[in-house]
Amino acid sequence: MTDPEVAVFTQRLPMYPVFFNLIGLAMGFTAIVLAGVLDAFLGTRVAFISVGLALVAADLIYRSRRGNLRQPSVLFHPERGGQVMFIPIWAFGALALALGVLT
């Protein structure tokens, strides 16, 4: 027979996958709002380039304050910066920047 207080800590709770962290969610939401505003006033190409630069800069600045950027693991570690669906936010920014330049 187990003590009721101990039983609470030994129960297995279901684990749910987390596809984003809060800083990644905040950066992504801000980028979507910024893209909508810039697209309305300046056009799609400028919006993609601006949002791409903003995402890359914001995530790399945040990561540089949380660790040394010279270590490759800092660029991908989920606790060092924003991520959505296990992809770093700076990668989404690089994709937006490339789409803006190529269109």
Total of domains in the chain: 1
Q: How much is the pLDDT for 46?
A: 94
Residue 41 counted as domain residue? yes
Residue 13 counted as domain residue? no
Average pLDDT value for the chain: 84
Tokens of 73: 């693991």
Rg (CA), the chain: 19
Residue 3 counted as domain residue? no
Range of the domain at 52: 19-102
Residue 11 counted as domain residue? no
Residue 5 counted as domain residue? no
Q: Over the stretch 60-102, which tens digit does the pLDDT of each residue have?
A: 999 988 877 788 788 888 788 899 888 999 999 999 999 999 9
Residue 83 counted as domain residue? yes
CA angle 91, 38, 33 (to 5 degrees): 65
Report the distance separating Cα 53 and Cα 30, nearest Å.
Answer: 13
CA-based end-to-end distance of the chain: 68
Residue 2 counted as domain residue? no
Tell me the whole-structure pTM to 2 decimals.
0.77
